[in-house]
Structure 1
Amino acid sequence: MYGKMMSIALACGMLASPAIAQQQAPAVAGDSAQVRISKNVAATTPYHLAPQEFGAYAQPYLLETGLVLTFEQRRHRYYTQIRNEAKVEIFPLAAGVFTSADGTLFVFRDGGDTIAVSHLERMPFAQQARVTPGRVYLASR
């Protein structure tokens, strides 16, 4: 399962990177299929969530660091927050995949029961939280 989450996180990380989104990304092998991301998909096909889809993710998640990430929806906008820090808007890329404007990537799996977070160091609270750059953090409900 960890390998599958890493493959999806890697593929989505490529999608979130502006430098790579402008060129054809290489295929990333998953457990049973390959994922191919092209600039046409990233640039012209925004992902729209179904009306109740975000409800599966609007829960607190305890990260390995002891931080608790919470997610919420307000109308058609989505946010994440830690403690009493300012909310950070996140944007849907695909089913269960979101990114912040700074490039933090959130990949939900198992119907929202688990999450992989990459580039957590880019979030505003990272300095106080002692987040290790380049590490993928895993959490579950």
Structure 2
Amino acid sequence: MYAKTMIGALACVLLASPAVAQQQAPAAADDSVQVRISKNVAASAPYKLAPQEFGAYAQPYLLETGLVLTFEQHRHRYFTQVRNEAKVEIFPLAAGVFTSGDGTLFVFRDGGDTIAVSHLERMPFAQHARIEPGRVYMAAR
């Protein structure tokens, strides 16, 4: 089964999951890629976190830019925030992989010790920070 993604970074992130394989299509104007999803991954079903799973990510992370991203959970909803800016809801895609409504992608690794953030320029605070479009930012706690 093939599904088009809006951002190429998502395909790279999905490679971290053993059930997903990536096959890149020729470069297109919209940077879309094709992702082959194996039969044991439900493409339409949202990922549901285990009860304590988000606890590993609910920490502050220092970005290369000097900004500190914090993550928190309120019942079954997840949020990120920078300083005193408004909280932004994020949605789980897979284990350790979240996206915001505007397409910012958060990939937690090493048990939550590090994070890679793609399309940070889409976050509401980005216009006030020195965020380079299209760059992947790394952070650690």
TM-score range, shorter chain: 0.7 to 0.9
8 Å CA contact retained: 1:27, 1:37 = no
Residue 45 to residue 117, structure 1, CA distance change in 2 (3 Å): same
8 Å CA contact retained: 2:56, 2:111 = yes
**Once the two structures are aligned, what percentage of the paired residues are identical?**
83
- Which residue is equivalent to 1:56? 56
Residue 60 to residue 138, structure 1, CA distance change in 2 (3 Å): same
Q: Structure 1 or 2: larger helix share?
A: 1
Secondary structure of residue in 2 paired with 1:127:
helix
Supply the distance in 2 between the matched residues of 1:140 and 1:88 (Cα, whole angstroms).
20
- Which residue is equivalent to 2:122? 122
- Which residue is equivalent to 1:46? 46
1:27, distance to aligned residue in structure 2 (A): 2.7
Residue 48 to residue 81, structure 1, CA distance change in 2 (3 Å): same
RMSD: 2.4
8 Å CA contact retained: 1:118, 1:134 = yes
Once the two structures are superposed, the pairs formed by residues 52-131 of structure 1 within 5 Å of their partners are 52-131=52-131
1:103, distance to aligned residue in structure 2 (A): 0.1
User: TM-score under structure 2 normalisation?
Assistant: 0.75
Q: Which amino acid aligns with 2:23?
A: A
Residue 82 to residue 94, structure 1, CA distance change in 2 (3 Å): same
1:11, distance to aligned residue in structure 2 (A): 1.6
Which ranges in structure 2 are unaligned for 5 or more consecutive residues?
1-8, 15-20, 25-34
* Residues 16-50 of structure 1: per-residue CA shift (max 9 Å, x gap): xxxxxxxxx9437xxxxxx8337x833x2110000
Q: Residue 23 of structure 2 is aligned with which of 27, 35, 41?
A: 27
Supply the distance in 2 between the matched residues of 1:57 and 1:26 (Cα, whole angstroms).
26
Q: Which amino acid aligns with 1:124?
A: P
8 Å CA contact retained: 1:108, 1:115 = yes
Q: Which amino acid aligns with 1:73?
A: Q
Supply the distance in 1 between the matched residues of 2:122 and 2:37 (Cα, whole angstroms).
23
Q: Structure 1 or 2: larger strand share?
A: 2
What is the number of equivalent residue pairs in this alignment? 116
1:13, distance to aligned residue in structure 2 (A): 6.4
User: TM-score under structure 1 normalisation?
Assistant: 0.75
